Structure 1
Amino acid sequence: MKSHSSTLLAEVRTFRQNHPDVRYVDLIALDIPGRFYGKRYPVEMLEKVAAGSPLKLPQNAVLLGAQGGLFKIGDYCFHDGDPDANRRLVPGTLKPVSWEAQPLGQMLITSDGTEAPIEFEPREVLAKVLERLHRKGIHPVVAFELEFYLFDKKLNDGLPQFARDPLSDDPDDQPTLHIERLSRFAPVLDDMVQTAQTQGIDITVVTAELGPGQFEINFGHLDDGLRAADWAALFCRSTRGVALKHGYRASFMAKPYLQHPGSGMHVHVSLYDAAGNNLLAAHQQQPLRHAVAGCLALLPHCMPIFSPNHNAFRRLGGTVNAATKACWGYEDRDACVRIPESDPRNLRIEHRLASADANPYLVLAAILVGLEHGLDAAQEPIAPLNEDRTSGHDFPLEMLEAVRAMQQQPVLREGLGAEFVDVYCENKRQDHLAFQQEINAREYRWYL
């Protein structure tokens, strides 16, 4: 513990030396809906925390709804006195913030690794899954890909407008899937990449996607699943800030336009043993097939994680490369679980179902539990799409049905933690019901 504190203290002191103009640091963590909460600390107080002073925030901050309010969930929120819970600083995440008007820093905090971790904190849920896999001799290597849209900074009657192309007055004149769009938006995209790299994130490939103003960012592969999810979360935060600085609005909303493709979170996962051997490639790739079967078996029960809100369900099945069933295939982007062509060393699955606004810690945790279940059950998967285009299991396409499917699934309750599953499902149910408590203009047009 002393060595851990001294490492953190050295990190804070080095940061202060390199950034003497920074007076405050945002200490941040991801809540259940995937939004950051936290506190802004004077940098001199951060040094005390790094040296071992307690860092406490309300436990129930993790339970915030999509709009920031609290719901009654079991004995939490309104029957527990709103207690504080210990957090710790995540080493290596203290970085400068360049998109704000004043010099700031930011640093991730978490309850995992504390004396009393919060069972329903997303990062803690993933940490427990990874610890269990490591005890079994399974070491995941993970890479995220995130799609997002650029919009004009100002909304029009609350509706998003296409990002203004510097070379065209016509908002529809944006070359899709074309390298030219990367050039047209180079100033903001370059700043996003450089800012992410300053945060310690390994950005690899930038792609212009099919939707107008839509892009995809790929991250490097990591043998630390927690850090891989950290990268995805931090990238969303920095990208929104950089976009505003350039006069745009960046959004990871799953389906901003009905007529254009939605934005997804694709996760590449390979599994290795302690000696570095790819477990999925052993025995003529039989473990790969078992892992796929496990993923597909649990996928219909994980939909509240993969599609965490009403809008995210709109993304499914309506446009290019968005699956309508739990299915798999080799080099097939219509599949939820795609097996990219690769050599045995790099054999992996690409899980393509989650929306871009899903919680990366929980998405990865759910995928890993599916892989683990498949390896344990050792069952063969259904036919791949390459052999049968109709192959696949149905999954829920609306939130309340999805919550019911998730809450009673015994493998998920054991793999992710029963307390987490109950809390998460109730949070999603309450969020969905709150979203429905508004009459929109279409209802008056149809029913008045």
Structure 2
Amino acid sequence: MKSHSSTLLAEVRTFRQNHPDVRYVDLIALDIPGHFYGKRYPVEMLEKVAAGSPLKLPQNAVLLGAQGGLFKIGDYCFNDGDPDANRRLVPGTLKPVSWENQPLGQMLITSDGTEAPIEFEPREVLAKVLERLQHKGIHPVVAFELEFYLFDKKLDNGLPQFARDPLSDDADDQPNLHIERLSRFSEVLDDIAQTANDQGIDITVITAELGPGQFEINFGHLDDGLRAADWAALFCRSTRGVALKHGFRASFMAKPYLQFPGSGMHVHVSLYDGAGNNLLAAHQQQPLRHAVAGCLELLPHCMPIFSPNHNAFRRLGGTVNAATRASWGFEDRDACVRIPESDPHNLRIEHRLASADANPYLVLAAILVGLEHGLDAKREPIAPLNDDRSSGTDFPVEMLDAVRAMQHQPVLRDKLGAEFVDVYCENKRQDHLAFQQEINAREYRWFL
């Protein structure tokens, strides 16, 4: 512990030396809907925390709804006295914030690794899954890909407007995959990539996607699943900030336009043993088939994680590469679970179902539990789409049905934690019901 504190203290002191104009640091963590919460600390107080002073925030901050409100979930929030819970600093995540008006820093905090971790904290849920896999001699290597849209900074009566082409000032309202779009929006995209790199995130490929103003950013592969999910979470925050600085609004909303493709979170996962051998490639790739079968079996029960809100369900069965059933295939982007072409050492699955606004910690945890379940059960998967285009199993396409499918699934309750499953499902149920408590103009047009 002393060595750990000295490492953190050295990190904070080095940061202060390199950024003497920074007076405050945002200490942030991801809640259940995937939003950051936290506190802004004077940098000198951060040094005290790094040296071992306690860091406490309300436990129930993790339970915030999509709009920031608290729901009654069991005894949490209203019958528990709103207790504090210990957090710790995540080493290596103290970085400068360049998109605010004043010099700031930010650093991730978490309850995992403390004396009493919060069972329903997303990062803690993933940490437990990774720890169990490590004890089994399974070491995941993970890479995220995130799609997002750029919009004009100003909304039109609350509705998004197409991003303005910086060169022509015309609306970028034409769907295309042209490389020229990367050039036209190079100033903001370059800043997004550079800012991510400054946060320690390894940005690789940038793609102009099919939707107007839509792009995809790929991250490097990591043998640290927690850090891979950290990257995805931090990238969303920095991208939104950088876009505003350039006069745009960046959004990871799953389906902002009904007529154009939605935005997804694609996750590449390979599994290795302690000697670096790819477990999925052994025995003529039989473990790969078992892992796929496990993913597909649990996928219908994980839909509240992969599609975490009403809008995310609109993306399913969309115009391009969005599956409508639990399916798999080799080099097939219509499948939920795609097997990219690769050599045996790099054999992996690409899980393509999650929406871009899903919680990356929980998405990865759910995928890994599916793979783990498949390797344990050793069942054969259904036919791949390459052999049968109609192959697949149904999954829920509405939130309340999805919550019912998740809440009592025994494997998820065991592998993700029963307390987490109950809390998460009730959070999603209450969020969905709250969303319905508003009558919009269309409802009056139809029924008045």
TM bucket, shorter chain: over 0.9
Q: Distance in 2 between matches of 1:321 and 1:171?
A: 25
What SS does structure 2 have at the residue aligned with 1:267?
Answer: strand
Cα distance, 1:37 vs structure 2: 0.0
Report the RMSD for the aligned CA atoms in angstroms. Answer: 0.7
Q: Distance in 1 between matches of 2:405 and 2:411?
A: 12
Cα distance, 1:178 vs structure 2: 1.0
Residues 329-383 of structure 1 deviation map (CA, whole Å, 9 limit, x = unaligned): 0000000000000000000000000000000000000000000000000000000
Gaps of 5+ in 2: none
Cα distance, 1:142 vs structure 2: 0.1
Residues 302-321 of structure 1 deviation map (CA, whole Å, 9 limit, x = unaligned): 00000000000000002110
Cα distance, 1:88 vs structure 2: 0.1
Aligned residues with identical type, % of pairs? 92
Cα distance, 1:173 vs structure 2: 5.2
Equivalent pair of 2:27/2:38 in contact (CA under 8 Å): yes
Equivalent pair of 2:163/2:172 in contact (CA under 8 Å): no
Aligned partner of 2:136 in structure 1 is 136
Q: Distance in 2 between matches of 1:129 and 1:397?
A: 26
Q: Distance in 2 between matches of 1:174 and 1:182?
A: 14
Equivalent pair of 2:317/2:323 in contact (CA under 8 Å): yes
Q: Distance in 1 between matches of 2:20 and 2:177?
A: 43
What SS does structure 2 have at the residue aligned with 1:116?
Answer: coil
Q: Alpha carbons of 1:172 and 1:14: their partners in 2 closer, same or farther (altered >3 Å)?
A: closer
Aligned partner of 1:188 in structure 2 is 188
Equivalent pair of 2:172/2:213 in contact (CA under 8 Å): no
Cα distance, 1:175 vs structure 2: 6.2
Aligned partner of 2:87 in structure 1 is 87
Equivalent pair of 1:182/1:189 in contact (CA under 8 Å): yes
Q: Distance in 2 between matches of 1:170 and 1:316?
A: 30
What SS does structure 2 have at the residue aligned with 1:117?
Answer: coil
Q: Distance in 1 between matches of 2:114 and 2:188?
A: 39
Cα distance, 1:168 vs structure 2: 3.1
Residues 417-437 of structure 1 deviation map (CA, whole Å, 9 limit, x = unaligned): 000000000000000000000
Aligned partner of 2:205 in structure 1 is 205
Residues 102-154 of structure 1 deviation map (CA, whole Å, 9 limit, x = unaligned): 00000000000000000000000000000000000000000000000000000
Cα distance, 1:243 vs structure 2: 0.2
Gaps of 5+ in 1: none
What SS does structure 1 have at the residue aligned with 2:267?
Answer: strand
Equivalent pair of 1:175/1:181 in contact (CA under 8 Å): no
What SS does structure 2 have at the residue aligned with 1:297?
Answer: helix
Equivalent pair of 2:164/2:172 in contact (CA under 8 Å): no
Cα distance, 1:167 vs structure 2: 2.8
Q: Distance in 2 between matches of 1:13 and 1:171?
A: 46
Give me the TM-score of the superposition, normalised by structure 2. 0.99
Equivalent pair of 2:162/2:173 in contact (CA under 8 Å): no
Residues 246-275 of structure 1 deviation map (CA, whole Å, 9 limit, x = unaligned): 000000000000000000000000000000
Q: Distance in 2 between matches of 1:202 and 1:30?
A: 20
Q: Alpha carbons of 1:396 and 1:15: their partners in 2 closer, same or farther (altered >3 Å)?
A: same
Cα distance, 1:170 vs structure 2: 3.8
Cα distance, 1:169 vs structure 2: 4.4
What SS does structure 1 have at the residue aligned with 2:120?
Answer: coil
Residues 38-65 of structure 1 deviation map (CA, whole Å, 9 limit, x = unaligned): 0000000000000000000000000000
Answering whether residue 8 of structure 2 is matched by residue 42 of structure 1, we say no
Cα distance, 1:172 vs structure 2: 4.8
Q: Distance in 1 between matches of 2:198 and 2:318?
A: 37
Cα distance, 1:70 vs structure 2: 0.2
**4+ residue runs of structure 1 moved beyond 3 angstroms?**
172-175
The 5 A counterparts of 1:355-434 are 355-434=355-434
Q: Distance in 2 between matches of 1:411 and 1:143?
A: 25
Q: Distance in 2 between matches of 1:39 and 1:445?
A: 44
Q: Distance in 1 between matches of 2:318 and 2:260?
A: 9
What SS does structure 2 have at the residue aligned with 1:385?
Answer: coil
Equivalent pair of 1:174/1:181 in contact (CA under 8 Å): no
Equivalent pair of 2:173/2:213 in contact (CA under 8 Å): no
Equivalent pair of 1:11/1:92 in contact (CA under 8 Å): yes
What SS does structure 2 have at the residue aligned with 1:212?
Answer: coil
Aligned partner of 2:99 in structure 1 is 99
What SS does structure 2 have at the residue aligned with 1:338?
Answer: strand
Equivalent pair of 1:165/1:174 in contact (CA under 8 Å): no
Cα distance, 1:171 vs structure 2: 1.9
Equivalent pair of 2:153/2:249 in contact (CA under 8 Å): yes
What SS does structure 2 have at the residue aligned with 1:191?
Answer: helix
Cα distance, 1:176 vs structure 2: 1.3
Cα distance, 1:189 vs structure 2: 0.2
Aligned length: 448
Q: Distance in 2 between matches of 1:173 and 1:249?
A: 15
Residues 204-259 of structure 1 deviation map (CA, whole Å, 9 limit, x = unaligned): 00000000000000000000000000000000000000000000000000000000
Q: Distance in 2 between matches of 1:321 and 1:429?
A: 28
Equivalent pair of 1:99/1:245 in contact (CA under 8 Å): yes
Residues 156-212 of structure 1 deviation map (CA, whole Å, 9 limit, x = unaligned): 000000000123344255461111000000000000000000000000000000000
What SS does structure 1 have at the residue aligned with 2:28?
Answer: strand
Equivalent pair of 2:95/2:106 in contact (CA under 8 Å): yes
